[in-house]
Amino acid sequence: MKASRIGGPVKRASPAGHKSSQKQAAERREKAGKVPPSASSNRFLRGGRIDPRRITGKERVVDLIEGTYLAYNAGRLREGCQLFTDKMLDPSVTVGLTMTGALTPAGLGMSAVIPLIEAGFVDWIISTGANLYHDTHFGLGLSMHRGNPQTSDVLLREEGVVRIYDIFFDYDVLLSTDAFFRAIIQGKEFQRPMSSAEFHWLCGKYVRERERKLGIGTKSLLGVAHKCGVPIYTSSPGDSSIGMNIAALSLDGNQCTIDPNLDVNETASIVLNAKRSGGRSAICILGGGSPKNFALQTEPQIQEVLGIDEKGHDYFLQITDARPDTGGLSGATPAEAVSWGKIDPDRLPDAVVCYLDSTVALPLLTSYALAKRPRRPLRRLYDHREAMMARLRAEYEKTK
């Protein structure tokens, strides 16, 4: 019920109403011990009430997220978990994951990304090369350790210790991992141009074999992606120690080359295939940076460059600590992405940004999803790259 005209009886208070009448009405209700009239008809007050359950110490992650993550960035994390689980993990949705920041050195490849891949919750990945390089340490049986970020870096250098903030590891971990990549890249199957997905798939095969020989179980997401047929791309192949070793071997005549043209077209074909197969496309972004743009530019590549009719990704979930007002891509909102054709404007309500550290949010998101959703069949998109590219080429030819 709306407030009446000024001077008349007021049923519901409003800052736009008659102040004296509203004040007197409140005083009369207080004296009579009555509560204000219900505001349930107000369209802005239809969200759940802030009435959290008490924390007892016996809660599951699902209980905490649904029962106590009610506002601010906790509320956005709850919305993100529910978007991911309720909509993005629908059997018809193809889910892409992007990764920036030093996630694998912190163990999140093993603790979170591998379980998501094995559960069929991640169908393809775009990562920084650094995450894949540091992921390989674990598959080779090399160790990384918790450390004190206040330790003198001069002292660490003298002791042969490298650090990523509060993660410490021996300098020989880098040398050993470099030697591993140089050894496998010189193999016959690497001597040609290829997409970064094919390169990482081949590397994953050798990492899995090293894990088997060492008897250390499953440690590397590269190895698991190989097993599960999940293609992994990197948006900047030269911007990591893996790319540096490829470049070094080229000086010796090695023919291994990562072809970015293949990456651009293959990733676009994955998104187009998701739509043309009667399904939808979802992107889960950890951080931002180049992998974020590389995943989202698939739609402008399809629409603007290839001239194929499309509308943008259907679901968008980002976990970031970047601000939107600096103009950087990492902080760009899904609403801004609509203007580029990256996000379907009709699906903008299905877009959530959580302003959180990925190392905090990802384990919670993973636990929530695994508790709420059964496993999905593996899509094995890597095995279907040629068919997806054929579909992309066929639609491109129609536009000429």
> Is the pLDDT at 10 greater than 60, yes or no?
no
Q: What is the pLDDT of residue 7?
A: 41
CB-based contact 369:121 (threshold 8 Å): yes
For residue 6, what pLDDT is reported? Answer: 41
How far is CA 28 from each of CA 19, 32, 150, rounded to the nearest angstrom? 14, 6, 61
The answer as to whether 280 is a domain residue is yes
Mean pLDDT within 33-56: 80
Q: How many angstroms separate the CA atoms of 224 and 378, rounded?
A: 12
Q: By percentage, how much of the chain surpasses pLDDT 90?
A: 78
Q: What is the pLDDT of residue 152?
A: 96
- 3-state DSSP call for residue 280? strand
In this predicted structure, what is the pLDDT of residue 3? 42
Average of per-residue pLDDT across 290-306: 94
Region 30-44: mean pLDDT is: 76
- Confidence tier at 96 by pLDDT (50, 70, 90): very high
Question: Looking at per-residue confidence, does 28 or 216 come out higher?
Answer: 216
Structure confidence at residue 18 as a pLDDT band (50, 70, 90)? confident
Number of domains in the chain: 1
The pLDDT score that the predictor gives to residue 51 is 86
Summarize pLDDT for 218-240 with one digit per residue, the tens.
Answer: 999 999 999 999 999 999 999 99
CATH number of the domain enclosing 308: 3.40.910.10
* Residues 45-61, mean pLDDT to the nearest whole number: 88
pLDDT tier, 23 (very low <50, low <70, confident <90, very high otherwise):
confident
Q: Which residues participate in catalysis according to the annotation? A: 342
DSSP assignment of 156-208: HHHTTEEEETTEEEEHHHHHHHHHHHHHHHTSGGGSSEE-HHHHHHHHHHHHH
Three state DSSP letters for 34-87 = CCCCCCCCCHHHCCCCCCCCCCCCCCCHHHHHHHHCCCHHHHHHHHHHHHHHHH
What does the alpha-carbon distance between residue 334 and residue 345 come to, in Å, rounded to a whole number? 9
Q: Is 73 within the bounds of a domain?
A: no
Element (H, E) at 145: strand 145-146
Structure tokens at 215: 């008897």
pLDDT above 70 covers a percentage of the chain that reads 92
Q: Is 96 helix (H, G, I), strand (E, B) or coil?
A: strand
pLDDT digits (tens, 9 = 90+) for 348-364: 678 899 999 999 999 99
Long-range pairs for 259-264: beta carbons < 8 A, 24 or more residues apart? 259/193, 259/194, 259/195, 262/193, 262/194, 262/195, 262/198, 263/195, 263/196, 263/197, 263/233, 263/234, 263/235, 263/294, 264/297, 264/301
Give mean pLDDT, residues 147-160: 96
DSSP 253: T
pLDDT in tens, 108-152: 999 999 999 999 999 999 999 999 999 999 999 999 999 999 999
pTM to 2 decimal places: 0.90
Residue 101 lies inside a defined structural domain of this protein: yes
Residue 210 lies in a domain: yes
For residue 314, pLDDT over 70 is answered with: yes
Range of the domain at 245: 82-399
Least confident piece of the model among 33-42, 69-78, 125-134, 191-200: 33-42
Q: Is 30 inside any structural domain?
A: no
Q: At what angle do helices 61-68 and 358-372 cross, to 10 degrees?
A: 110
| Domain-located, residue 12 | no
Q: Is the pLDDT of residue 180 over 50?
A: yes
**The predicted structure's pLDDT at residue 299:** 92
164 within a domain of the structure (yes/no) = yes
The verdict on residue 44 lying in a domain is no
